[in-house]
Structure 1
Amino acid sequence: MKKDQMTPGRRALLRGAAVFGLAATAGCAGTAGSGAGAPDVSGSGIPSGAADGGVAAGGAPAARPLKASAYRLQPMAGSGPAGAPRTRPRVRKEPILRMDGQGRSMVLTFDDGPDPRYTPGILRTLRRYDVRAMFFVCGEMAVDNKDLLREMADDGHLIGNHTWTHPLLPKMSRSAMREEIERTCEVVEDAVGEPPAWFRAPYGAWNRNAFQLGADLGMEPLAWTVDTLDWTEPGTRTIIRRVRAGAGPGVVVLSHDAGGDRSQSVEALRTYLPELIDSGYRISLPSRYGI
């Protein structure tokens, strides 16, 4: 699929995505830990389980109704030895929402890319402040932008799996879901030499098969704590305000570097990132071990 095309079927998925929260049974590299329920601290009023509004390729996302969160997760303990041997994670029943906040650490994540129009700007800002982030990439975007994947890896960022076409996973058969996830693992491994260690379900819509397949492929499932809702293009100041309001130890921030006009997301990062650092936050990466 071309990057700036979207089929009617995917538009329909976007319109219906917000009605799906997390199905709580049964996730490509990580380790053991446990997940439970916690409030959405984004302050946005958008459900944590359905707020991932980006799309894998270009085109403006459809509007979503506001509704109560279908799942609420507890903070997770996290961080373990770097460079530990890669092991198969256990199958979780809920995604990881929050990292261990020891040392006032936070995690920045960017979904749906890479997009050559916006991802390079985000990478430049992260490089300027010597900060590492996580990029949950869609295979259909990554396959034509492997140079950006290599740039991410060279800069020390983590590349996660966000499926191939950004579908609504609970609507898919197990075999179709496996193809979506597996193909993206292969593209990432081909580009940077290793498969992704983390997985994020599009729209935050998980089910038993998503957790099982992710674990089978060696990935831990990661959700988020603060949703910037940047996919709605609310304005640079609003994105900055949401990050400021949600900042805290262990917070995982959700933003997007593709799926529409992400110039506001690029510009907002230039402001809130140095502010977070000046406030004493350490922007870091989650460990795959001891979560």
Structure 2
Amino acid sequence: MPIVSASSETPYAAAAALQPNDKEASATAAAQIEANAKPKPADLGELQRKYSETFKFHGPKVKQVALTFDDGPDPRFTPQVLDVLQREGVKATFFVLGNRAKKFPALVKRIHHEGHLIGNHSFSHPNFGKRSLKQFQTEILRTEKIIKQTVGYRPKLIRPPYGEIRETQIQWVKKNGCTIVNWNVDSLDWKGLDKAKVEANVLGAAGPGSIVLFHAGGGVGSNLNGTIQALPDIIQTMRAKGYQFVDLAELLHTVKYR
């Protein structure tokens, strides 16, 4: 089956959900990092055409942009991101990891209560391009259950770690009424970039219908201060150009839950 590689997301993002005592996921983190370090064959065009209603990388070409945040909830960074969004009056989309949602339910509830959309980013951040359909189902359904227990709904939107997905997995997502959402603008904030570089990466690439990838969580020793500092300028600059910030359900004209 074709494998999609849409990601320049960090090879160390597999550790984003981990603290030193997170034994449950640590056994697979090293293997995930190694697997992601190798280039993968890509057939994005074919799969986009074949599954255009299920597999999204951007929205309609209108002056709307969706800010998305992966790998939370994380008590170091997620509250700071939420504080900025609240001050700026922006609604965003957070793709949460199941093992972190289980560990930090209060943060998931805060994301929900402040009006942001929650999506499914798997339980332990595996590379689905290297996983079976059964493993994919287990990761997605386990996280879905945690989110449902925490905020009362099952997310419709799924973002596979690293943007990696197999065709059989897309078919299962379609059958179950969900949507896979990757991105077309990458902040590269996982690299620990400073404010100016994060701004340049986003403002230099964002346009009508863009889906922007940021992170609201990271591995031990990670630094997302560049994102937290850059967000106000990014939002204000794009607003001055006439852009509206919306969550992914609004951008993609789909329902929030299922």
Quick check: 1:163 aligned with 2:163? no
Work out which of the residue numbers 17, 35, 58 in structure 2 matches 1:98.
58
Does the Cα contact within 8 Å between 2:93 and 2:248 map onto a contact in 1? no
Does the Cα contact within 8 Å between 2:54 and 2:179 map onto a contact in 1? no
Deviation sequence 1:163-202 (CA, Å, 0-9, x none): 0000011222222221111010011111111011100111
SS in 1 for 2:165: coil
Quick check: 1:275 aligned with 2:237? yes
1:137-216 mapped onto 2 (5 Å cutoff): 137-216=96-175
Quick check: 1:3 aligned with 2:23? no
SS in 1 for 2:55: coil
Does the Cα contact within 8 Å between 2:67 and 2:93 map onto a contact in 1? yes
Work out which of the residue numbers 15, 20, 28 in structure 1 matches 2:40.
20
Write the distance in 2 (CA, Å) between the matches of 1:258 and 1:4. 11
TM-superposed CA distance for 1:273, in Å, is 1.6
Change (3 A) 1:93 1:210: farther
Does the Cα contact within 8 Å between 1:125 and 1:270 map onto a contact in 2? yes
* Counterpart residue identity of residue 169, structure 2: A
Q: Which moved more, 1:154-163 or 1:166-175?
A: 166-175
Change (3 A) 1:93 1:16: farther
Write the distance in 2 (CA, Å) between the matches of 1:23 and 1:201. 16
Match of 1:123 in 2: 82
Does the Cα contact within 8 Å between 1:22 and 1:205 map onto a contact in 2? no
Deviation sequence 1:244-265 (CA, Å, 0-9, x none): 1012110100011112322222
* Counterpart residue identity of residue 265, structure 1: T
TM-score by length of 2: 0.80
Change (3 A) 1:99 1:202: same
Write the distance in 2 (CA, Å) between the matches of 1:93 and 1:10. 32
Change (3 A) 1:253 1:195: same
* Counterpart residue identity of residue 240, structure 1: E
Quick check: 1:238 aligned with 2:197? yes
TM-superposed CA distance for 1:208, in Å, is 1.9
Deviation sequence 1:93-151 (CA, Å, 0-9, x none): 9720111132x100100001110110011111111111110101110111111111111
- Of Structure 1 and Structure 2, which has the larger fraction of its residues in strand? 2
Deviation sequence 1:64-104 (CA, Å, 0-9, x none): xxxxxxx8968xxxxxxxxxxxxxxx9669720111132x1
TM superposition outliers: structure 1 runs of 4+ over 6 Å: none
TM-score by length of 1: 0.72
Write the distance in 2 (CA, Å) between the matches of 1:280 and 1:200. 28
Count matched residues: 230
Write the distance in 1 (CA, Å) between the matches of 2:110 and 2:18. 20
Unaligned runs of 5+ in 2: 1-14
